[in-house]
Amino acid sequence: MKDLTDKAIIVAGANGLIGKEIVAELREHGSMVIAADLSFATEILDPKYSTYRLDLSDNSSIDGLVEFALSRHGRIDGFINAAYPRTKDWGKYHFEDTPFSHWKDNVDLQLNSVFYIDQQIAKVMKEQQFGSIVNFGSIYGIVGNDFTIYEDYGGTSPAEYCAIKGGIINFTRYLASYFGKYNVRVNCVCPGGIWDHQHEEFVKNYNHRCPMKRMGNPDDIAPLCLFLVSDGAKYITGQIIAADGGWTAI
């Protein structure tokens, strides 16, 4: 990985499970981080680290983030979207029982917000003639769901999740093709399951199926994101990269 010193990098979802690790590693590598998350109540301003309260359901909040980053650093070298917005009833419904309003609300929160924030940041990068965008997909945007890992405890995976992540994956390819001539790169990281105190039967079944026999951790994902916004990846664009312990290999 090439030097990330003094690169201005926005991280959306910066206070989330993976986002926190990304921010910590960027700071360790000397980046000027703009950490954006709905949970931030106040702004922190210093030359190397800033926070911004980002509401992905509000386009004016996204516009404000872009303006904030430019006012702080005059450019945007990289954008990593590790945000995972979802409704409070996320994961509650099996497919047959999923209300259409629930589907629509989550597609709007997760997929439509990716369109708008990528659009606004890509316009800046087009103008400056450089930049790297990292979107987040999932293994379930690449392959179908293995529902056997939920059966022992009656759980499920939300139907809208695979549609959203599959959409983000091909949207990433579209952006890479569209903006390549402006030296703007767009790639997509697809994590496998990340351990977060899930049901013990889920963890057992997941580990049994996964070739590496464990769930992922945030520090399995963050280094890949850092590489993709670094100059070490300067000829890599339009790629869908799974960090999944081999899940999608079998």
Neighbouring CB atoms inside 10 A of 174's CB total 12
- Going 228 to 36 to 119 to 3, the CA torsion angle's sign is negative
Cα-to-chain-centroid distance, residue 124: 19
Give catalytic status of residue 161 as yes or no.
yes
State how far the Cα of 21 lies from the Cα of 17, in Å rounded to an integer: 7
Neighbouring CB atoms inside 10 A of 239's CB total 15
Closest C-alpha to 5, from 237, 233, 230, 225: 230
161, 178, 182, 206: which one is catalytic?
A: 161
Closest C-alpha to 234, from 132, 134, 136, 133: 132
DSSP 111: I
Closest C-alpha to 202, from 148, 130, 249: 148
Alpha-carbon distances of 103 from 33, 82, 108, rounded to whole Å? 33, 21, 9
Point out the residues that are catalytic.
161
